[in-house]
Structure formats: C-alpha cells, structure tokens
Amino acid sequence: MDSGLYAAYTGLLARTQALDTAANNLANAGTVGFRAQRDYFRSALAGIDEETSASQVGGAVNNFGVLGGNVIDQSQGAVTATGNPLDLALNGPGFFAIQTSQGVQYTRDGGFTHSGTGVLQTAQGEPVLDAIGQPITIPTGTINVGPDGSISVTTAEGSAIAGKVGVFGFTTDTALIALGTNRFAAPVGAQPTVVDAAVEQGSLEGANLDTVHGTMQLILVQRQAEMMQKALSVFNNDFDKTAAEELGRV
C-alpha cells in the first residue's frame, strides 16, 4: 500500500492535536503568569515490540511523526505596572510557591493579597510560601518588597522585615505538570531549589504569548490540518475508487 496514506493520517493526527494546543495558548494570552505550551514530535509506533517495528507496515508508519506531547515554554512574559503593592512579578526564571489543598503548586501569577490575619495569599486564599516553605505573615503598615523578595513593613514604631517570598526553580530536564491555566506541580522526585530572580513590586507578568502570534499560529495549524484531511480523503476515497474501476477493466 502507498505509504502516502500513512503520511496523511499521521499528519492529520498531529495537526489536530497541535490545533488544541494553539487554541489553548491563544485563549490564555491575557492570563497573568500563563506559560504557553509547545509541541514536540515522536515516531508513531514508539515503544512497541521489535517485531512490529520491523514489519513493513510498522516501518511505513514509523517514518512519519506524531505529536508526542507538549513542553512548557519558560520564556519571560511582558511585565506591566499595576501600582498594587502586593502585586509581584518575576524577572528571570523561577516560580512562586503556594500551599493548596492538593499540595504545593508553582505559579508566575503574583497577584497576591493578605488575609484578615495578615497571611500573604493568592486571590483564592492560598498561602504564599517563603524560601523554607512556610506561610508569610505581614503586619499592618506600609509594605515594601525588595528585588530579592524581602518584605519590609513600616509602622509608626519603625521598619522591620516580615519575611521573604520564595522563588523556586527546577533543572532544565524537569517536566513540570500543568494544572489549569497558570499553575504547575513538580513531578514525583523533583526537588526545587531557591533561585535568584528579581522580584518587581507593583507589577504583574503577563502571558508569554501575544495575541498576534497566537492567532497566526492557530490559523497556520488549522490550514495544515485541513490540507492533511483533504489528502487523507484523496487516498482513502478517490484512489480506492479509481483502483476498483481499473481493476474491473483488467
């Protein structure tokens, strides 16, 4: 059988999956701290037994790649000033750590508030952790956050350090698990380390994907999927019809 059929099928499968990724990226172009996902490809029959891989059909299929999954784009997003003293943006690698009901999660969304008892928290009420994994309590007063994440509070009695926001990073080969739009979890066994990222007070980091690029990528992938669908239709229908008609004459 002509391997073009396999090329069309694997191409359509890969482009359909990539279309979902592109659509999700574009939908979150306005989400604070969002990290776009990029596609990577693998062989269609990767991981199967040696006998199947060596077959003619297996070889034909495996000559064409399918979408293997997504990796998180860790590039920097644009930082926008908000004027809110508890809005924090990161310039450089790393994540804020927050304590959730599902365990510690990591985010670049620094839109924080403080609870009635002064605990620094997310908009959902989850405590933000310091460098040793403990919640941070901020007393009433004028808040100033330094580039190293140190939080100082000025009151009528003077100024004092209330804590330090933890910024954590992972090795380049760590595959973080995406949870929702701008949350991540560390895989089992991964150990985060404290990193030196510049913390910018009164600002938030946007998504690292702009709407123009996201729209162009979505249109490109959609057109590629349509072409693969047309090619598959040609191989699956038109060629079979022609073969049936010609064989009858022979």
Is 40 within 8 Å of 71 (Cβ atoms)?
Answer: yes
What is the reported pLDDT for 1?
Answer: 47
Q: Which residues of 190-203 are buried (b: 16+ CB within 10 A; e: fewer)?
A: eebebeebebbbeb
Diameter over CA atoms, the chain: 101
The residue-averaged pLDDT of 236-245 equals: 58
* Amino acid at the residue 46: A
Q: Over the Cα atoms of the chain, what is R_g?
A: 25
Joined tokens for residue 219? 């249109």
Q: Which residues contact 220 (CB under 8 A, 6 or more apart)?
A: none
Q: Note whether 10 and 44 are within 8 A (CB).
A: yes
Q: Which residues contact 142 (CB under 8 A, 6 or more apart)?
A: 153, 154, 155
Arithmetic mean of pLDDT over the chain = 82
Shortest CA distance to 147 belongs to which of 45, 79, 241? 79
Tell me if 108 sits within 8 A of 209, measured CB to CB: no
Question: pLDDT tens, 124-158?
Answer: 999 999 999 999 999 999 999 999 999 999 988 88
Instruction: Tell me how crowded residue 29 is: count the other CB atoms within 10 A of its CB.
Output: 18
* Residue linked to tokens 């073969």: 243
Q: Looking at residue 141, what DSSP letter applies?
A: S
Residue 186's pLDDT band, with cuts at 50, 70 and 90, is very high
For residue 52, is pLDDT > 50? no
Q: Is the pLDDT of residue 209 over 90?
A: no
Identify the CA nearest to 194 among candidates 136, 133, 144, 152: 133
pTM flag (> 0.95): no
